[in-house]
Each structure stands twice: as C-alpha cells, then as structure tokens.
Amino acid sequence: MVHQVLYRALVSTKWLAESLRSGKLGPNLRVLDASWYSPGTREARKEYQERHVPGASFFDIEECRDTASPYEMMLPSEEHFGNYVGRLGISNETHVVVYDGDHLGSFYAPRVWWMFRVFGHRTVSVLNGGFRNWLKEGHPVTSEPSNPEPAVFKATLDRSLLKTYEQVLENLQSKRFQMVDSRAQGRYLGTEPEPDAVGLGSGHIRGSLNMPFMDFLTKDGFEKSPEELRAMFQAKQVDLTQPLIATCRKGVTACHIALAAYLCGKPDVAVYDGSWSEWFRRAPPETRVSQGKGGKA
C-alpha cells in the first residue's frame, strides 16, 4: 500500500464546537447537515429548521443527484454539484464538515463525504458521532437559517473512486477488484425484503462479500478505531492492499466501507454508484444471488 498523508476523515464534536466558538466558521470552514430519512418516518429538512449545528447548511441529497436517472441517488453532473455546493458557500479551498441526525450516529454523512471526494475535493470530514452525540454532549444548537456567501466550486470527477455497471460486470470476469456489500445480512442473502422498494427484490451481486455498515459504528454512534476496522476487514479476508469496490442498494451505505478503509490508510475504494438498485434491473439473472444459495442463482 502506498503511504501518503491523508486528510482527516473524521473530526470530533469537541473540535467542531471549539472551531465554532473561536469564530472559524466561514469561507474556510463550512458545516453541512446531510440528513435523509425514509419517507413517512422523519422529515430531515423540518428537523434541520427546528435545530441544527450553528451555521450549518442543509445539504439536500434529493436535490443534489441525477434526477433524470431511473436508479436511486445517482451522482449529479460536475456542473450540478459545483453549482449546488457553491450556493452553500463552499469553494475548492473550504474545509467541509458533514453530519446527519440518524440514531445510528452516521448514515448519509459518509455519502456526502464521498461525493466531495469523487468531485475532486479532499478537505472534507465526517463529524464523528453525528448530531446524536452533538446533542448528547450539550453542544449548542440553533433554528436560525444559515445564509452563507455564495462561492465558486469547480468540480472535477475522479473516476478512480467511481464504478459503473459496465465496469462491475467486466469485473465478474477479470476479478481485478474485490467487492463488498454493506447492506444488512438478510437483504444481502435475499432472505429479507428491500425496505420501501417497489419491484426490487433482495440479494447480491455474485462474488461480493457482506460487511453490514452498522458494524463499523460503536453502539454509541462513533466510528470504530482503525485497529478494530482492520480486524473486521481481515476477518472477511478483504485485502486492503488490493483494489476494492463497495456496493449496497443505492450507493449510500457503501460509502461507509470507503470511509472505514480510508481510516485504515486505504483512500482508493471505488463505490458502485448504481449498486443493487441498478444491478437488479440490468444484470443477467445468473449474476444475481438470492435466498442464500451460495452463488448459484
């Protein structure tokens, strides 16, 4: 593995609170609430309007995606992403800190962390412990809307961090990349349905391993230590010195695999953006494994 100095992928609630207290929020430091919840459960934007980290802007992943795609949560274009985050006061020089309000401690924040990285931005961090621990520790919140001065962000797609359907299909033959699926075991095996999904069966891409993303987090909602994460990859016989593709249902929790590997010193995990929602609808049936049949469709 090539050793390089990696930008810190995590910042602590204490660090962020001190940064806000010392007036560092501005063009050089922006905070984003990237919460998203299944329809009919919680309302992310409403909760943001009621309380958020002071100065944080709401990153609406429903707006910052390819709305023309038939698949879920696909990346927007470079221009779309650049314009969207520029309106949030983010330039190519800004340190971006992302959090969400999920009870797990982190759910959608790693997706936005990865989106910035795939569009060429390296100075981005996830708030370790999320809004859950920000509240628990008694840090300040506000209902005041943030009105950051718009900035210019030039997005440049880093294709090495992104995999397409065609590339994953080719990989079934070449096996150049290891592939890890971050969904819960039942959905991966095909023994439990995909939640809130119409016409989407469960199962996994042939040859992929399963590492449920929740296992990367402690019960208190913090990221596990690099030592614990390395042991988890080793237990699944995932070689972090070799190429790795992360997949899930719609390219969101796959980013937890990318983040965990990054914390172990591997910054080059590629995410299959279409993931299972695309694979199920496009791939040959023999490449879809369901009902725990061990690779035989």
Mean pLDDT over 156-160 rounds to 97
**pLDDT grade for 40, boundaries at 50, 70 and 90:** confident
pLDDT value, residue 71 = 81
Report d(CA 149, CA 88) in Å as an integer.
8
Judge whether 247 and 181 are in contact, CB under 8 Å: yes
Q: What is the pTM of this model?
A: 0.95
Given 64, 248, 255, 264, the catalytic residue: 248
Structural domains in the chain, CATH included, are: 10-137 (3.40.250.10), 162-289 (3.40.250.10)
Least confident of 59-63, 81-85, 90-94: 59-63
How many CB atoms are located within 10 Å of the residue 12 CB? 16
Q: pLDDT tens, 50-82?
A: 999 999 999 999 999 988 888 878 899 999 999
Q: Which of 33, 9, 244, 231 is CA-nearest to residue 130?
A: 33
Q: pLDDT tens, 240-256?
A: 999 999 999 999 999 99
What is the residue whose two structure tokens read 């699926």?
A: 181
Least confident of 113-117, 223-227, 291-295: 291-295
Question: Of residues 234 and 296, which shows the higher confidence score?
Answer: 234
pLDDT value, residue 297 = 35
Please confirm, yes or no, whether 255 is among the known catalytic residues.
no
Q: What radius of gyration do the chain's Cα atoms show?
A: 19
Report d(CA 166, CA 297) in Å as an integer.
20
What is the residue whose two structure tokens read 């038939």?
A: 70
